[in-house]
Amino acid sequence: MRYSRVCLKAFGYTLPDEVVTTDELERRLAPAYERLRLPAGRLELMTGIRERRFYPPGTRPGQVSIESGRRAIAAAGIDPSHIGALVHGSVCRDFLEPATACGVHHALGLPESCLIYDASNACLGILTGMLQVANMIELGQIRAGLVVGTEDGRPLVETTVERLNTDAAIDRREIKQYVASLTIGSGSVAVLLCDEALSQKRHRLLGGAVVANTAEHGLCQSEGLETFMRTDSEQLMRAGVATGARTFELFLKELGWSRGDVSKTICHQVGVAHRKLLFEQLGLSESLDFSTFETLGNTGAAALPMTMAIAAEQGHFAAGDRVAMLGIGSGINCQMLGVEW
């Protein structure tokens, strides 16, 4: 897919105030660690995640998404009447119905003509929303669109800790499928895309490639964030990276780039082992990458775009940089997008 008139206009993001270190999480897991004779420090050593953040108990994702949306609109400096689509793309949502996008749309005061809906695609929900909004802009159906999402990892992490501490049937082998749940953090991001006529900076969304390797859809499954998520972490990492490598080749071909043309990268934020293997398989240097998993953990669908927002805020990108957004999510789905900064 290619775009000729779509720009990334602005980001807005919102982080929780409460920080939970991995050391603290392991202290909470003391009963499980003692029962299974696991060494302290294991979780951070395996993942590279030092801490993550949580919203207060009872926080509804839509309420935080409203704040992120407001920040993106303010940063964009455009009239909200130009926004013709709103997509809420996080795993977390307020209700089964109506769409979380409804409350966000109302609070932001967007026009009645705005197309609104939720998009669910595991850790790629917000990137999926970006593709859909970009398509509408490219077709001339809308002038601008807002994609937003908020992930609240507290319920999943706390439920996982409780189960590991109390379920004596879980042994050292079975505990592996719960490790990924302990890496989850919370965060919120909004991305505003627009037609080039509305953008002065013109960070151009050039296009990208997608691959759906659905033969591996059973490697990570969750019945809900307040229940449990079971993940074959090692196999998911290997299958995901292999799928990512195939997607990257298609991505380069579609955009007419070589590996040497990639100036910067932003990946889905999983952990240190995942990033190392991914860059080895892609034939890229890890020095190109900007990461946040060390202090934010895996924030689901918000992870990649929120990391890009933080990178932009910290001046990580220079004019003319070619930025590769490398999205890999359970399913297994890959979506990789290219931006000319």
- The residues facing 280 across adjacent strands are none
Q: Which helix (H) or strand (E) holds 144?
A: strand 144-151
Catalytic entry in 114, 123, 267, 334: 123
Q: How many CB atoms lie within 10 A of CB 148?
A: 34
Torsion over CA of 331, 304, 291 and 207, rounded to 10 degrees? 100
Q: Do 302 and 309 touch, CB atoms closer than 8 A? A: no
- Is there a catalytic annotation at residue 158? no
* Helix pair angle (61-76, 100-108), 10° resolution: 40
Residue 2 carries which side chain, given as an amino acid letter?
R
Instruction: Please state, in angstroms and rounded to a whole number, the distance separating the CA atoms of residues 3 and 275.
Output: 28
- Is there a catalytic annotation at residue 34? no
Apex 150 CA angle, 331 and 330, nearest 5: 10
Give Cα 45 to chain centroid, integer Å.
Answer: 22
Q: How many CA atoms lie within 13 A of 87 on its CB side?
A: 26
- 195 DSSP assignment: E
Q: Do 177 and 234 touch, CB atoms closer than 8 A? A: no
Q: Which residues are catalytic?
A: 97, 123
